[in-house]
Structure formats: C-alpha cells, structure tokens
A and B are shown apart, each in its own frame.
Chain A
Amino acid sequence: MIKKTIGNIFKKWFLNLGENNKPTYAVMAIAVVKGIARPIFTMTDKEADPETKKYTAIREGLTEVVAIPTYFACGELASKFAEKLNFSHISDPKLQAFARQGAKQNFMFLGVCLAALAVIPALASVTIKPFMKKIQENKKDTKKAIDNVQNLELANTNNIVEKEQVNPNFKSIGLRKSALNTYSMAKLGGMKVGGL
C-alpha cells in the first residue's frame, strides 16, 4: 500500500518534470540546500574564530534567502518577454508553436543566468551589507555596554583594594611617627621604657 502510494507520487513528479523541466527548479533546489548546508559547514569549522564563524554563517544563509526568490522572479519575468516576440515569419502553425515554446524556455534560462551572474550579487550587496552592519553595530553597542559594566566593576574592586592597602600604610606611618615621637620624648625625658 505505502509502496504503491510512494510509487504514484514519484510517477506524478516524473511526468511533470518530463513535460516541463524549468531551469529554475534545479537552481532553486541547489539554493535551498546551500542555504542550510553552508552555514552548518561554517559553524562546524574548528579552526575559525567563533565571532567570524557566526558572521559568515549568517551572511551565507542570507545570500541564499535572497537567491531563491530572485531565481524564480528572474526566470518567470524573462519568460514573459518571449510572449512578446513576433513569429509571424513562420507560416506553419506547428513550427510557430514549437518556436514559441522554445523561446519561452530559452528566455527563462537566460533570466536564471542573469540572476546568477549579476542580479543576486547586486541584491545581496544592497540588502545584506546594511543588515550585517546593523548586526555588527548592535554587537558593538552590547560589547561597549558590557565593557563599561566590567570597567565599573573593575574600578570598584580597585577602590576597595586601594582602601585596604592605603589604610595599613597610613597606620604604619602613624605608628612609626608616634614611635619616633615616643623615642624622642623618651630620650628627652630620660626614661628607658620599652628597650629604648
């Protein structure tokens, strides 16, 4: 039962693909898998810096997110141009239909090529660069805030340490002073108390 159902599903797919295998199908399927696989590969790289890895993975994922609809739109838009071509010079209606169908497929293919070569890199640089800059700015702000908090904490700890260090010094100087005073006073007074 399950085997038959799966067989029927594949039959349907095969018939549809055999009838019309649009050039957009393969490139969109590749872009979907690239969008998932490439960030995973990047994140599993043990040699790269964690921050760089995250940045590269997001960038790669976003590029494919831009690429998928662009491939589709460019292919479909380009095939629309084929409908405007004039085939009146071909008298045989069958040959005319054959040429029209061929032109539609060719335009779609050219649209996909144009998307891969120019449209996707251009769109990616327009949309992804500002997005990545924003992420970096946010990260910088967060890092600044964390640094500020850390600096404050560090300053507080230093103060405590200074207080702890200064006080004994001060006391010891005081003690020495008082001791000196006592010594001088003792000498002056002619007393020999405390071993002096």
Chain B
Amino acid sequence: MINGLTSALSNATLSRIAQSTTSSVSIETGLKAVGRPSFILADGKIEPQTKRYAAMKEFLYQATCLATYMLIITPIFKNGAFKISKLALGKTEDAFKKFKSAKEYLSYKKLAVMPQKIRLEKINEAKKPFKFSDDLLSHLKTVEDAEQYNIVKGAIEFGNIVGSVLGLAIFAPQVSHIIIHPVLKAIGMEKEESPKKELIKQNS
C-alpha cells in the first residue's frame, strides 16, 4: 500500500509534467477553472443568484485563458524559442544541430531522462517510429546515461515561460474580457444594457 503510494508520488509522467512549463501551467489553470467556481458556490454568505453569476464568470475567465494559452501561445512560443535559439546559438552549440524542431527534441528528451532499463522497455514497446534521427535512437539504446542536451530544453522552457507570462498576464485576460459578457448574456445570466445607459455611454 505504502509502496504503491510512493510509486504514485514519484511517477515519471507526473514529474515530466512538473518539469514542463506549458503542462504545469495548463494543469494549474484547469484546476483554477474547476476549483475557484466550486469555492464560490460553497460560500454560504453570498446570495445564490450572485454566487451563480460569480462562479460562471470565474469559470469562463479561466476556461478562455486556458484555451487561448493552449491554442495560440504555446505553439508559437515553444517553436519560436527553439528556432530563434537555433539561429543565435546554433553555430557554437552542436546540440541545436541534432534536432530540427522542438517537437523532435522533446520526444528524445522524454526517453533520455529515463534510466537505461526503463528506456529500453519503452523503446521496445513503441508502436510508432520515433521523431528523432536513428543516430540518436542508437545512442539512447546503447548509452547508460544518455546525453540530455539541456541547453535545448532550457531554450524551449525559456520560450514557454515568456509565452506563459505574456499569454496569461496580458493577452488571455483581454480575450476573455471580450468573450465573457456576450456568453453570459447568451445564457441569460447577464441582462442587456438598457437603452438609457447606452445613450449615456454614447454621449460621454
């Protein structure tokens, strides 16, 4: 029982997620999208109507942030950082020459961090061909401590952090601000603006 719990807590997939900026930020935002509205709904001091409105607004905010982040920010910054770093540091750093894209490196890294015993099992179990070159595959099969090419990983993660910051702190809130009110109006949780208010707005 305890051994099972220890194994679950040291799970390799979870630690790969923890080491990846995009995965950890996405999971954290997903948890916020579910957790925060639940906390609002569980609050006994607020009026039921207000509670529902606030919870729905919070859910929509976090959900649109997550969608914007995953669909727009992550692909641009992950690949962008790899390409820029390859251009800038590729002449001096051989690590960048071995991979054509961020996807290729990440697929290699997934296996490279594993101890050889587990790595060989995973390579043998694989049904699809690997994205990286055959040279790198034979390196993974034969060497006990595989080369990590940490500079490539660092470049990708740096891009991810910059993307996460710009995406979640600046870009996504603006997108969600545009989306939230029309959605709330569409589902009947927010009333249409009165013509009087609109007139005031136009005149000001």
Contact = CB atoms under 8 A, between A and B. Distances in A.
B2, B12, B117, B170 interface centre (most CB from chain A within 10 Å): B170
Contacts of B11: 102, 106
Interface string B84-104: 010011001100000000000
A116 B158 contact: no
A98 B118 CA distance: 11
Of the four ranges (under 10, 10 to 19, 20 to 34, 35 or more), the interface on chain A belongs to 35 or more
B141 interface: no
Interface in A15-54: 15-21, 23, 25-27, 29-30, 32-34, 37-38, 41, 47
Contacts of B10: 82, 85, 87, 99-100, 102-103, 106
Interface residues of B, number: 53
Interface stretch (A6-14, A128-136, A157-165): A6-14
A95 B154 contact: no
* Majority-rule SS of B interface residues: helix
Interface stretch (A107-115, A143-151, A166-174, A177-185): A107-115
Contacts of B93: 11
A107 B169 CA distance: 25
B164 A21 contact: no
B32 A117 contact: yes
The 8 A-B pairs with the shortest beta carbon distances in the complex, nearest first, are A18-B150, A14-B154, A18-B154, A109-B18, A18-B153, A102-B15, A103-B10, A17-B154
Interface of B: 2-3, 6-7, 9-12, 14-15, 17-21, 24-25, 27-28, 31-32, 35-36, 39, 85, 88-89, 92-93, 114-115, 117-118, 148-155, 157-158, 160-161, 164-166, 168-170, 173, 201
Given A23-B18, A99-B10, 4 more contacts: A18-B155, A26-B160, A86-B6, A99-B6
18 contacts: A7-B88, A11-B151, A17-B154, A19-B150, A30-B25, A37-B170, A38-B173, A41-B173, A47-B201, A86-B2, A95-B118, A99-B6, A101-B15, A105-B18, A106-B14, A109-B17, A116-B31, A117-B31
